[in-house]
Amino acid sequence: MSDPAGRAAADAVRVPTPREHHLTVPRSARYVVLGEPGPRVRTLWVALHGYGQLAARFARRCAPLAAEHALVAVPEALSRFYLDAPAGGSHAAARVGASWMTREDRLAEIGDHVAYLDLLVARLREECEGDPAVRVLGFSQGAATMARWLAFGETRVERAVAWGGLLPDDLDLAGLAGRLAGAPLTFVVGDADGHRTVEQVRAQADAVRASGVAVRVVTFAGGHALDAGTLAAVANG
C-alpha cells in the first residue's frame, strides 16, 4: 500500500541546496549632464545623489558647479524603487527614487557602481576631446559611494567633497589616502543636519587627516541638503 506522506518526506529530503551565482549583464544606466562636452571643458564634476533621489532633480541642485569651463555629470544609481505606498492598489502616482546599494548582495552592487562610474568618466573625457580634471561630490549616501569608488575604481580625482555624509566604517583609510594621491577631501555639513552632526563629521575628518589626506570641514546654516552659496564657495575654493 502506498504511503503518500512518506513519499512527500522523501521528496523534501532530495531538494538540493540553493547555490548563489552572479551573471554580468548589459543594462542601461541613466545620467544627466549640465553643460556641453567639448574641448573647452577643463573640469568635470561627477555629482552623486543621496538615497531615494533621482538624477534629474538632484542635478538642479548642482547648478552652482556648472561654471564656464566645467561640465557636471549626475549619474543615477542603478536600483530604483517606489518611495510611496500604493494608492488604491496602484503605484501610478507614487514618487520614485534610487539607491546606490543596500546590505543585500552589497559587494556585487559596489562592484557594479564602481565600474559604472569609471565607464561614465571615460566616456565623458572622450566626448570632451581632452583630459579635464575630475572632481567628485557625494551627497549623503552618495558620499559613501564616492569613497568606495575612489578606493576601488580606476578614476583619479583632483578634489573630493563629502556633503552631509560619512565615509564607510569598513573603508581602509590608509588605502584611500594612497588612491587620492594628494587630492584634498572636503567634508560639508549643515549645523541643523538631522542625519549627521557636525561633531560626527569633525571626528571622521580627524581620522582621515591622520591617515595622510588633506582634509577640511565646511559648515553652513542649514539642514540635510545642498546649499547653493556654500556649494559655489566649495567649488571655487
List the CATH number of the domain containing 42.
3.40.50.1820
Cross-strand partners of 219? 189
In a domain, residue 82? The reply is yes
The reported pLDDT for the residue numbered 225 is 97
In a domain, residue 9? The reply is no
In a domain, residue 6? The reply is no
Does the pLDDT of residue 204 top 60, yes or no? yes
In a domain, residue 108? The reply is yes
The reported pLDDT for the residue numbered 88 is 84
How many residues does this entry show for the chain? 237
Range of the domain at 83: 27-236
**Residue ranges with strand state E in 76-223:** 79-82, 96-99, 133-139, 159-163, 185-190, 215-220
Number of domains in the chain: 1
Strand order in the sheet with 159-163: 31-34, 70-75, 43-48, 133-139, 159-163, 185-190, 215-220
Q: Which pLDDT tens digit goes with each residue over 68-106?
A: 899 999 999 999 989 989 888 889 889 999 999 999 999
The reported pLDDT for the residue numbered 36 is 92
In a domain, residue 16? The reply is no
Does the pLDDT of residue 64 top 90, yes or no? yes
In a domain, residue 91? The reply is yes
Does the pLDDT of residue 66 top 70, yes or no? yes
In a domain, residue 17? The reply is no
Does the pLDDT of residue 1 top 60, yes or no? no
Distances (CA, A) of 116 to 28, 94, 112, 113: 10, 27, 6, 5
In a domain, residue 210? The reply is yes
Q: Which pLDDT tens digit goes with each residue over 18-31?
A: 999 999 888 899 99
The reported pLDDT for the residue numbered 6 is 59
Quote the pTM value. Answer: 0.91
**Residue ranges with strand state E in the chain:** 31-34, 43-48, 70-75, 79-82, 96-99, 133-139, 159-163, 185-190, 215-220
The reported pLDDT for the residue numbered 45 is 98
